[in-house]
Amino acid sequence: MKQKKMTHPERVLQYIKEFGSITSAECFTVLGIIDLPKKICILQDMGYEFEKQSITKKNRYGDSTTFKRYSLKGEAGNAED
């Protein structure tokens, strides 16, 4: 019997549960998923809550760049039913 493929939001959620948080760069490099904010929005619609931390670092050209790190705030009530 063929196992159901995980959706992108499910993969993002699994990654956060396993590693504690995720950035857009990690999402693209590790999971191959480009639009992390959209996946977070879908998960929020399912009832999950996220902490969003703004991080500013220098890129390879020495310019400052800001990005978000998302972590799970609390479990959704019936999101996995």
Domains of the chain: 8-74 (3.90.1150)
pLDDT tens, per residue, the chain with 81 residues: 678 899 999 999 999 999 999 999 999 999 999 999 999 999 999 999 999 999 999 999 999 999 999 999 965 443 443
d(CA 42, CA 44): 5
pTM above 0.85, yes or no: no
Residue 72 CB: number of other CB atoms within 10 A?
A: 17
Per-residue pLDDT, 75: 52
Per-residue pLDDT, 17: 96
What DSSP string runs through 19-67? HS-EEHHHIIIII--S-HHHHHHHHHHTT-EEEEEEEEEE-TTS-EEEE
Per-residue pLDDT, 56: 97
